[in-house]
């Protein structure tokens, strides 16, 4: 795998889409206004996660994607080996039933995740519409991507506490595109031959990675990016902020390119059920 190159802000969305089409991922400079929101989230999140387990569980919701999840819910390969992280999530479609149930400290984080999600909407929309253009499909479906069904999750790790070499096992995300920032190293992208590429992480770098749904849209012309999180024993804590850009499950989704890899696969059904592969509830239209 070629060493990842940081795409500068002045690059066009067309160029960015071509890079994602070619290698399945891209590293971009985080737009300055978004960096500010990320810095605030990273400053506020430890206060939430450093509360007692009992206090945090009060901000958890059964059968919803939103809110707090402790270690022992989410996994990447098997429910015999959970991801070694805690998380807190925002999902727009669930807001009417979640907002009234949150504590004050959770509400601060929730509102910030909501703000971050809307700040990313234009960027993600442009990337996806330019990717559609690569496949001559830009007019096929204009409302393909929806923030309504796209969760944003802040992950909190305490790597020094564990012995496992890998905190999150290798997996592909079950969405269109993942946008990820982290405050320190750990993320590794796996190549088709299993080779690992460590990604330099900071608030200023956003990693965009193709998920399974983008692969299905393109008949696997774009490969979904396998990735994992490696443990660095000297890290007392690690934060990552992940936005999972998803398809709009309220409308049918048509592939941009049809072949044996995606013929007769219901992409909306995949979008709804993919979270269950990781121990999470299926997406719900509410
Ligand atoms: Fe992931």
In a domain, 142, yes or no: yes
- Averaged pLDDT, 244-254: 95
In a domain, 9, yes or no: no
pLDDT at residue 161, rounded to an integer:
95
In a domain, 7, yes or no: no
- Tokens 């080779």, residue located: 195
CA of 185 relative to ligand 1 center, distance in Å: 15
Contact 216, 116 (CB under 8 A): no
Band (pLDDT 50/70/90 cuts) for residue 163 is very high
Are β-strands 6-7 and 25-29 bridged in parallel, bridged antiparallel, or unpaired?
Answer: parallel
In a domain, 283, yes or no: no
Any residues with CB less than 8 A from the CB of 170 and at least 6 apart, and which?
A: 76, 77, 190, 226, 227, 228
- Averaged pLDDT, 76-95: 96
pLDDT at residue 104, rounded to an integer:
94
Here the CATH number for the domain that contains residue 92 is 2.60.120.330
In a domain, 30, yes or no: no
In a domain, 76, yes or no: yes
Flag whether pLDDT at 3 surpasses 80.
Answer: no
Band (pLDDT 50/70/90 cuts) for residue 125 is very high
> Total structural domains in the chain?
1
In a domain, 153, yes or no: yes
Flag whether pLDDT at 137 surpasses 90.
Answer: no
In a domain, 32, yes or no: no
Domain extent for 82: 49-278
From the list 22, 69, 101, the residue with the least C-alpha distance to 242 is 69
CA of 58 relative to ligand 1 center, distance in Å: 25
Q: CA 63, CA 83: separation in Å to the nearest integer?
A: 19
CA of 171 relative to ligand 1 center, distance in Å: 6
Predicted TM-score (pTM) of the model is 0.96
Flag whether pLDDT at 130 surpasses 90.
Answer: yes
């Amino acid at each position: 795998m070629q060493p990842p190159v940081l795409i500068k802000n002045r690059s066009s969305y067309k160029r960015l889409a071509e890079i994602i089409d070619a290698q399945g991922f891209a590293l971009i400079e985080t737009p300055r206004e978004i960096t500010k929101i990320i810095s605030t989230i990273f400053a506020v999140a430890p206060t939430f996660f450093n509360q007692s387990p009992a206090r945090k569980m009060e901000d958890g919701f059964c059968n919803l994607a939103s809110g707090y999840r402790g270690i022992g819910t989410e996994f990447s390969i098997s429910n015999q080996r959970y991801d070694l992280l805690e998380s807190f999530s925002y999902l727009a479609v669930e807001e009417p039933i979640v907002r009234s149930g949150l504590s004050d400290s959770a509400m601060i984080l929730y509102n910030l995740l909501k703000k971050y999600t809307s700040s990313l909407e234009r960027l993600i929309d442009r990337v996806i519409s330019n990717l559609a253009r690569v496949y001559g499909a830009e007019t096929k479906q204009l409302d393909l991507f929806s923030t309504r069904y796209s969760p944003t999750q802040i992950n909190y790790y305490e790597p020094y506490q564990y012995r496992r070499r890998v905190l999150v096992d290798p997996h592909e995300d079950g969405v269109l595109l993942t946008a990820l920032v982290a405050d320190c190293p750990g993320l590794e992208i796996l190549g088709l031959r299993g080779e690992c590429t460590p990604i330099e992480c900071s608030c200023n770098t956003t990693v965009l990675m193709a998920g399974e749904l983008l692969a299905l849209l393109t008949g696997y012309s774009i490969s979904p990016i396998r990735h994992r999180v490696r443990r660095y024993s000297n890290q007392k804590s690690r934060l990552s902020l992940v936005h999972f850009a998803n398809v709009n499950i309220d409308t049918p989704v048509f592939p941009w390119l049809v072949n044996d890899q995606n013929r007769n696969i219901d992409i909306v059904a995949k979008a709804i059920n993919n979270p269950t592969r990781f121990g999470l509830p299926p997406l719900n239209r509410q």
